[in-house]
Structure 1
């Protein structure tokens, strides 16, 4: 028969709790020979994991972030920026692939140091709705555009031409919130909502889990158009040999690094590192590597001080 030993069980429980508490320390130990930026105390950053910079990204949004088919490692503009942030803060980068519409909750949940991620770089457009939940540090600008099949068979020229058509977007994006009313994200009127251009003939919206699925829907004829950020449209059109038609709908707007509102030491450290990267040319070099120099947005420029898009 199985024996039950309360004393041993209690000792094991206490021991496991003690070890868990030690293992979940959120202070960062600085590697030998590495000096954080002046004024940054890495022991006060309330990190998810000691010594690591844990960052969420939806790795299906190239060229900003996607998985390398050969290695499955996450590559792109934003992973390269994350690695530079970690290097300068004397931390190890811990980039985690996450569903886009789950990232904000993963950052804001629980108390500082007990959330899922320290921050996110994942092409988050800065909007008034998002700023109610998190702080966002401007670092890039991107417009929005539609992709349609070769020859543009539906003669789509603007968003208002999407009425009655099948359109795919990635769930949780601003593009989704421009078509249907999304609580906490949309700013009315939206295309399918009251006062919207398509309220009488709604867009047949497909909100999909990843951008790869969005593009696949266009390739297999399931939808008439896809709607996403312009750099992403350009990437997939080039990958398809120029067989899509790209239709610009929205001028470039700032995107932001997502951080908690209640972790000032961490946010200040990220801003300090970003400013240093922009001052010494590292930031420009990373954007150039990914062909995204036209998305430059420095902390002291107009794009960083402008109003959110919605």
Structure 2
């Protein structure tokens, strides 16, 4: 179904929010994720940085010297980041990171982790940045738990680089008359833990209860492929994920015969590269590099390659999410 642009309210945005059509090619999504180990199949280590790169002098001296930016990422979220049949990390984020790296004279080394550990990994200095279809939100910026409203961390800064949306999808031919989020009362949803979809599901479950309707049961998983497996086995009625991810799964899973999108997208919002609050020099270098690839046309080529033109931005903002 062609997606619309329906707004909903919720306590926070996690991975994403709403944009247009996608037609992407590539390998089926592989499910290995969450080992928090280095992925050497995609991003080789740099030698010592490149002072000839246009924006190399904007980087902190230690990163420029090492020639590597360590990236925490949930590498099971095609087409944003995933492993192809050879085990190489590919997708929108790795391609954008490579283009940014050329501007800064460094390599981006992607390290695999579950999505809900990424900000903690930044705080523990396991990574320099997190780049994983993460929505830029005020709660994340301020280190606030969206459910309790309590301060739980120092927060992060974001360099925004894309806009995306969230969708519902079901087993093909088994939509159970689901067209909107209000149709989910009495259903079972499988969803990736601590994502925007998870937040929306909890918000909708409360609404079902408040309206005196049947409960929405939520089953959460470490990765989106696990949520899809649960639905495929009839253990859940519906999955929710970012629209690019949902569309990719619908197009590729089972040769396009496994799933179908139902209803409209909801909640427009930006993806951001997360950077520790203390890393202002790195943040500003990344912002300059993202803007440079937008201006020189490299960004457009990447977005067109993956068929997600409707999610393109024209300005690399810092903390542009709300």
Q: So what's the TM-score if we normalise by structure 1?
A: 0.77
Quote the offset at 1:34 in angstroms: 3.2
Q: Does 1:128 align with 2:128?
A: no
Give me the whole-angstrom Cα distance separating, in 1, the residues matched to 2:56 and 2:77: 34
Please tell me whether residue 289 in structure 1 is matched to residue 305 in structure 2: yes
What runs of 5+ residues in structure 2 fail to find an aligned partner?
1-45, 143-154
1:90-145 Cα shifts (integer Å, max 9, x gaps)? 22221111100000111123xxxxx0111121111122211111111111111110
Are residues 144 and 198 of structure 1, via their aligned partners in 2, closer, same or farther at CA, if it must alter by over 3 Å?
farther
Instruction: Extract structure 1 runs of 4+ deviating beyond 6 A.
Output: none
| Superposed displacement of residue 305, structure 1 | 8.1
What is the root-mean-square deviation of aligned Cα atoms in Å? 2.3
CA distance in 1, matches of 2:175, 2:286: 46
Distance 1:119 1:306, change over 3 A: closer
SS at structure 1 position matched to 2:66:
coil
Question: Which residues of 2 match residues 60-209 of structure 1 at below 5 A?
Answer: 60-68=76-84, 70-109=85-124, 115-132=125-142, 133-180=155-202, 190-193=203-206, 196-199=207-210, 200=212, 201-209=214-222
More contact order relative to length (CA 8 Å, sep ≥ 6): 2
How many residue pairs match? The answer is 260
User: What's the offset of the Cα at 1:44?
Assistant: 5.5
Give the secondary structure class of the aligned counterpart of 1:192. Answer: helix
The structure that has the greater radius of gyration is 1
SS of equivalent residue, structure 2 residue 166: strand
Structure 1 gaps of 5+ residues are 1-27, 110-114, 181-189
- With structure 2 as the length reference, what TM-score do the two structures score? 0.74
The CA deviation at 1:292 is 1.3
